[in-house]
Amino acid sequence: MDRWVVVAPERSRRPSDFRMERQPRKQGRCPLCPGNEADTPPEVLAYGKRDRVPDTSGWHVRVVPNKFPAVRNLPRETGRQGLYEWMSGLGRHEIVVETPAHVPDLDGQNPEQVAEVLRCWMERSRQLARDPRWRYVQVFKNVGRPAGASLEHTHSQIIAIPFVPAELGRELAGMHVYRRSTSRCVLCDMVAQELADGRRLVHDGGGFVAFAPFASRFPGEVWIAPREHAPDFTALQAAGQRELAATLLAVLRGLAAAFNAPPYNLVVHTAPHGEAGGEHFHWHFEISPRLSITAGFELGTGYYINPLPPETAAAWLRDGKTVGGNVSND
Ligand SMILES: [Zn+2]
Ligand SMILES: [Zn+2]
Ligand SMILES: [Zn+2]
């Protein structure tokens, strides 16, 4: 999709060449643990026992407004300063506490719990999308401090914003260009090619396919996409949620094994609601381990240097047992 990456594997041969600690922060009382519900703003959604009182324990997934939001429920204001334009940081920023267990990630959770997290991402996204001010609801997950997480307890984030983000606009435009010249969906074609080729395939979960994208920007980058064309992530039904949970778990366990529980970011890209042509979008997850530092070349050019070919990354992620071992291609 109109993106150039320099794949430069000369200097890296083993998974242990790609090490980055999650750097957990020494924390006192965890505001996300059960029993500490009063430490967060009042919950906006929770799954738990039937007769549970809000903001008490007994939940298994809980959504609260972010205490330190990146965007706020502000009046919409815009202005100019000479040639610069500004807009108030309008939006909603929420935290999804993914399990009552104080663990750093979902990889040790059972598939049912992960499916509940996915259900929560979808339900809360749909609820937020009903507010006409929001044009996009971004679900994402930061794990480990190098990936931006400030709390250790496994959680994800949902931000509703009043515009379609540039990255998504770029993907939409790329999908439209491909569609105009081929009458097909580029991601449908990518999934088909990865399944047929196999070299970059990480996990074939039936309805969902995980693969290391051709010319990945980041070492160990993995995308998960539905095999059949589907624009709206939030429309997934219960059976699909369970199947997606199993695929996501396979990827997270592969990452943890191959790269020693790396810090990573996960972003959900789904069709912006109400956007013309949105039905041609093909939703997907992008999972980017933080195993290298983006530096001057990336900043200066917008191109990425990736020292790990996706074919090698996929092989490591598939067997997940190669930590410290040698790779056969030297
Ligand atoms: Zn905790
Ligand atoms: Zn498609
Ligand atoms: Zn994307």
| pLDDT tens per residue, range 108-124 | 999 999 999 999 999 99
Q: Give the three-class secondary structure for 241.
A: helix
Residue 163, classified by CB atoms within 10 Å of its CB into exposed (0-12), middle (13-18) or buried (19+), is: middle
Ligand 3 center to 186 CA (angstroms): 12
Among all bound ligands, the one having the nearest atom to the CA of 99 is 1
Ligand 2 center to 318 CA (angstroms): 24
282 is annotated as an active-site residue: no
Can you say whether the dihedral through the CA atoms of 297, 299, 305, 306 is positive or negative?
A: positive
How far is CA 290 from each of CA 84, 151, 217, 251, rounded to the nearest angstrom? 33, 17, 11, 15
How far apart CA 159 and CA 91 sit, in angstroms, is: 7
Among all bound ligands, the one having the nearest atom to the CA of 282 is 2
Give the distance from CA 29 to its chain's centroid. 27
How far apart CA 291 and CA 287 sit, in angstroms, is: 12
Options 155, 269, 280, 282, the catalytic residue: 155
How far is CA 52 from each of CA 48, 55, 131, rounded to the nearest angstrom? 7, 9, 27
Give me the pLDDT at residue 324, please: 40
Instruction: List domains and CATH numbers for the chain.
Output: 5-22+29-72+84-319 (3.30.428.10)
Ligand 2 center to 183 CA (angstroms): 11
Phi and psi torsions of 209, nearest 5°? -125, 130
Mean pLDDT of 279-302: 90
Q: Give ∠ CA 191-192-193 in degrees, rounded to 5.
A: 90
Count how many Cα atoms sit within 13 Å of the Cα of residue 195 in the half-sphere of its side chain. Answer: 17
Tens-place pLDDT, residues 138-181: 999 999 988 988 899 999 999 999 999 999 999 999 999 999 99
Among all bound ligands, the one having the nearest atom to the CA of 227 is 2
- Treating both helix axes as pointing N-terminal to C-terminal, what angle do 310-319 and 238-258 enclose, rounded to 10 degrees? 100
Ligand 3 center to 165 CA (angstroms): 11
**Long-range own/partner contacts, residues 187-190 (CB < 8 A, 24 or more apart):** 187/225, 187/229, 187/282, 187/284, 188/229, 188/282, 190/214, 190/225
- Treating both helix axes as pointing N-terminal to C-terminal, what angle do 238-258 and 111-129 enclose, rounded to 10 degrees? 120
Mean pLDDT of 199-204: 97
**Confidence category of residue 322, pLDDT binned at 50, 70, 90:** very low
Give the amino acid at 136: Y
For ligand 3, a single-atom ion, the residues with CB < 5 A are 269
Alpha helix stretches (DSSP H) within 77-217? 111-129, 166-182, 186-197
Nearest to 114 by CA among 295, 244, 269, 264: 244
How far apart CA 199 and CA 192 sit, in angstroms, is: 13
Ligand 2 center to 102 CA (angstroms): 37
Full-model pTM: 0.92
Q: Give the three-class secondary structure for 25.
A: coil
Ligand 3 center to 220 CA (angstroms): 16
Pairing of strands 136-143, 155-161: antiparallel
Among all bound ligands, the one having the nearest atom to the CA of 188 is 2
Range with the poorest average pLDDT among 209-213, 276-280, 286-290: 276-280
Ligand 2 center to 231 CA (angstroms): 7
Pair of tokens at residue 171:
């993907």
